[in-house]
Amino acid sequence: MSPPARIGFVGLGDQGAPIAQAIIDGGYPLHVWARHSASLGALGNRKFTVHESPGDMAKVSELVALCLPEDTDVLQLVVDGGLLAGMQPESILVNHGTGLPETARHLAGLGAVRNVDVLDAPVSGGNAVARVRQLTTIVGGTDDGVARARAIFDTFSKSVIHVGPAGSGQYGKLFNNALMMMNHQNVIEVVNLALRLDLPVRSLIEVLRSGSASSFALQAIGPSITVDNVEHLASLELIDMDLFSAATASLGQKRMPVVERALAGANGLSELTRLTQS
């Protein structure tokens, strides 16, 4: 089957807006449904078509992308909101939000009944990275579905990684986020040692960013994580750790060292940002 040409989109927030912009700029006709019309302003002067209901948008879309905050939002729209009912056979539904692998597998099952390929494709990088179209898109789903959607993903991604079957994309994103938060905690502990020695923290951070100790956790402080947005980002990290803990619950206590260290990193992110940007 040929790649999708007409794209539907829901979720023009902090992450979704630059993704939708990139899709339009990539030459794809974009069909949009928005709960609040004010959010359409995020697309600027670009051309797009607005629909009155999710179902109407789905009927004319060969691929529908969702960028919504939580699984409950996705399920409400897809099932109760009539989006899946409006999708044509052999079309593709993509969930770019971060959620539970179990929910991703449930959605894939619902889609299979209607011959709709459902992909879980959360993205990593944040708003600043999305704006320069360098996101990492982490995909779970069928080989055929991922192959057909790849050209769309390429409009906003530096890399597209097919992890495995439905749910694998969510696992990939959650493990990625957990390790990033653990790396935050590594930085926090190093900075605290430096403070005890009265070392200049900002200069030390510059060394760590430039040397072999560098990581995304370090690089993001400043460009993506600032004193203005850190409280919001830290709250999102805590939500992600709730998801990680739930997704790995079958491992019992074996997962707890990772969970606890990642939570410490998320809880200390505000203070770390203040120390490195003051």
Integer Cα distance of 158 and 124 in angstroms: 10
Angle of CA points 173, 41, 229, to nearest 5°: 45
Choosing from 47, 158, 173, 254, the catalytic residue is 173
* Whole-Å CA distances, 138 to 153, 163, 220: 10, 7, 19
> Which pLDDT band holds residue 105 (cuts at 50, 70, 90)?
very high
What string of H, E and C letters represents the secondary structure of 63-106? Answer: EEEECCCCHHHHHHHHHHCCHHHHCCCCCEEEECCCCCHHHHHH
State whether 105 and 184 are in the same domain. Answer: no
Number of domains present in the structure of the chain: 2
pTM for the predicted model, two decimal places: 0.94
**Average pLDDT in the 140-162 region?**
98
Q: What is the pLDDT of residue 220?
A: 87
Q: What is the pLDDT of residue 189?
A: 95
φ/ψ (deg, to 5) at 221? -75, 115
State whether 155 and 192 are in the same domain. Answer: no
Q: Which of 130, 165, 200 is the last residue of a domain?
A: 165
| Residue 69 counted as domain residue | yes
State whether 255 and 190 are in the same domain. Answer: yes
State whether 158 and 31 are in the same domain. Answer: yes
Tokens representing 138?
């982490």
**Average pLDDT in the 84-91 region?**
97
Q: What CATH number does the domain containing 127 carry?
A: 3.40.50.720
Q: What is the pLDDT of residue 216?
A: 87
State whether 143 and 212 are in the same domain. Answer: no
State which H helix or E strand residue 245 sits in.
Answer: helix 230-247
- At a CB cut-off of 8 Å and minimum separation 6, what does 116 contact? 84, 87, 89, 90, 91, 92, 93
State whether 177 and 113 are in the same domain. Answer: no
Task: Give the structural domain span for 192.
Answer: 172-277
**Average pLDDT in the 111-119 region?**
98
pLDDT digits (tens, 9 = 90+) for 161-200: 999 999 999 999 999 999 999 999 999 999 999 999 999 9
% of the chain surpassing 70 pLDDT:
99
Strand partners, 135: 157
State whether 132 and 111 are in the same domain. Answer: yes
Asked if the model's pLDDT at residue 278 lies above 70, the reply is no
Q: Which of 144, 165, 186 is the last residue of a domain?
A: 165
State whether 12 and 92 are in the same domain. Answer: yes
**Average pLDDT in the 247-272 region?**
97
To the query of whether residue 173 is one of the catalytic residues in this protein, the response is yes
Cβ–Cβ < 8 Å for 13, 67: yes
State whether 43 and 149 are in the same domain. Answer: yes
Closest by CA position to 63, among listed 87, 90, 24, 91: 91
> Which pLDDT band holds residue 126 (cuts at 50, 70, 90)?
confident
Q: What CATH number does the domain containing 221 carry?
A: 1.10.1040
Residue 4: DSSP 8-state = P
Asked if the model's pLDDT at residue 24 lies above 90, the reply is yes
DSSP line for 153-220: HHTTEEEEEEEESTTHHHHHHHHHHHHHHHHHHHHHHHHHHHHHTT--HHHHHHHHHHSTT--HHHHT
| Residue 73 counted as domain residue | yes
State whether 83 and 152 are in the same domain. Answer: yes
Asked if the model's pLDDT at residue 2 lies above 80, the reply is no
pLDDT digits (tens, 9 = 90+) for 59-79: 999 999 999 999 999 999 999
Integer Cα distance of 99 and 172 in angstroms: 11
Tokens representing 16?
């979704």
Tokens representing 76?
């409400």
Amino acid at 37: S
Angle of CA points 165, 19, 118, to nearest 5°: 25
State whether 180 and 124 are in the same domain. Answer: no
The conformational region for residue 233 under phi > 0 = left, psi -120 to 50 = alpha, else beta, is: alpha
State whether 177 and 161 are in the same domain. Answer: no
pLDDT digits (tens, 9 = 90+) for 209-252: 999 999 988 888 887 889 999 999 999 999 999 999 999 999 99
The number of beta carbons lying within 10 Å of the beta carbon of residue 187 is 22
* Whole-Å CA distances, 268 to 183, 187, 228, 233: 11, 10, 15, 12
Q: What is the pLDDT of residue 223?
A: 79
**Average pLDDT in the 122-148 region?**
95
